[in-house]
Amino acid sequence: MNSRKWLRQTFLVLLPAFAMTLPSAADNFRGARPPLVIQGKTSEKRVRDTADQERRYLEEGKKYMESSVYQKAIECYTRVIGLNPTNEEAYTAREDAYLVTGQFGKAFDDECAAINLSQHYPFSYMHWTPRYDPETALNHINSAISKNPKDARAYAIRAMLNKWRPLAQTQYQRLIDDYSKAIELDPGNTNYRLQRAHAHVMEGYYDRALQDYNLILVEDDCNRAAYRGRFEVDVRQRNIAQAVDDAKMLVELDPTNSVAYAKLSIAYQMEGQPDEALGALNNILSEDPSDSASRLKRAYLYISRTEYDKALEDYAVILNRDPSDDTARLARISLNVRLGRGKDAIRDCDALSPKIDGVYWRARTNLDLKNFLAAIADCNTIIARSSSGPDAYYAYMTRAEANDKLGRYRAVIDDSSAALALTVCPNGHLHYLRSKAYGKIGDKNHQSQDALEAERLGYKPTAQ
């Protein structure tokens, strides 16, 4: 029986690969730079040279920012944008420089452009810390609003500045109020409405967000940002048919955009059309075989179709390209355990990168493969290394499970008690194991106590 910990850890590791991207805002640029064409033929060398120049200017800009030579940094980022108007990183970096130098209007324009290009807004911005003092900037813009309360752009800029305050102080209702005022003063500005729609999504006001996205699409039925935003709301509200339609529109509007196909694959999976979902992923990989995220999603789909060999082939491609990809390796471990390929699973445990505790995963794998003594030996290694903290907690729990399978009930009681004493988290499974062990040795009083605690924590044992 796979343990709850194994399932939880595997789910958390694999979650980024299957996570759905969140919406971006005003969408006036394409998500990918088209190749340069000379007399009908692609000039690959010219594309490479341009990309090299972009990287060089970006690095120079970062050095100028670190040295507080902000105007030079702005010039470098402007050159990058001149070479490639779809470089999201350059807009974000230049926005930072504009904020530091008090050029809030230009910073707002760059924010709109960057959000417009981002496939992952708003999460791609939530942990960015600008270099400017938000309180000083807010005082400045508040003064401007008091002098001219009919300046729509000033309200939009204030919303932007509030967004960069510490997260504990950020309330999206503030943003909504300011964008609403900006819309009232300038109802034709799509950027303001898009920004408000995204704030509605972050605050959980999905119906209000849909109203804004729908209004935008009435005026501009080719606005990819509005479709992306509406797709996100579709997914959250389980409006599956609409999600499929919105994803199809994103593909139709930009057939070169892999993220659009990824959304389409997600929508098809939600709709219960695995063949169509697989086709969308195949389209991505035919254009870019190095897209590991899409290959990982395809492997997941193959597993759902019991096409295990194809899934293993995809994992092999990913790991041959990048042996340090722990997400793919953990997924392959899980699949090989399911298939009973113990040696392959253990080999992958030993090949995990240093940031993942390979000994722990080997213990879990040995447990699931019914190699109980080997699992106990691995747990002993972990506990000898550290008898406290999360590592020891999970090692004690795993050892308790292994001893339970071997009928060593007093050892189960000792290990369960040791894990619970570390109080890493409430665990009904451990109370259940200990209750079962107490029952085996005839201690009815403690058995009842642990059984009640397991029930209180909502634990329900699965069939063996």
Q: CB of 244 within 8 A of CB of 267?
A: yes
State the residue range of the domain holding 408. 372-464
Q: CB of 195 within 8 A of CB of 111?
A: no
Provide the pLDDT for residue 440.
95
Provide the pLDDT for residue 347.
95
* Domain total in the chain: 1
| 384 domain residue, yes or no | yes
| 363 domain residue, yes or no | no
Q: Which residue has the tokens 């932007």?
A: 160
Q: CB of 422 within 8 A of CB of 388?
A: yes
Chain mean position to CA 378: 32
Provide the pLDDT for residue 24.
35
- HEC string of 83-94? HCCCCHHHHHHH
Q: CB of 216 within 8 A of CB of 226?
A: yes
| 222 domain residue, yes or no | no
| 55 domain residue, yes or no | no
Query: Token pair for residue 307?
Result: 């096409």
| 193 domain residue, yes or no | no
| 56 domain residue, yes or no | no
User: Residue 5: how many CB atoms within 10 A of its CB?
Assistant: 18
pTM confidence score:
0.67
In angstroms, the CA 80 to CA 175 distance is: 30
pLDDT tens digits, the chain, 464 residues: what are they?
444 344 444 433 443 343 333 333 333 333 333 433 434 444 566 667 788 899 999 999 999 988 889 899 999 999 999 999 988 889 988 988 888 887 888 888 888 887 777 665 543 444 344 566 667 778 888 888 998 999 898 898 888 888 766 555 557 888 899 999 999 999 999 989 998 998 899 888 999 999 999 999 999 999 888 999 999 999 999 999 999 999 999 999 988 888 899 999 999 999 999 999 999 999 999 989 999 999 999 999 999 999 999 999 999 999 999 999 999 999 999 999 999 999 999 999 999 998 888 899 999 999 999 999 999 999 999 999 988 888 899 999 999 999 999 999 999 999 999 999 997 778 899 999 999 999 999 999 999 999 999 999 998 887 55
Nearest to 145 by CA among 154, 136, 137: 154
| 438 domain residue, yes or no | yes
| 128 domain residue, yes or no | no
In angstroms, the CA 273 to CA 62 distance is: 46
The CATH number of residue 407's host domain is 1.25.40.10
In angstroms, the CA 209 to CA 202 distance is: 10
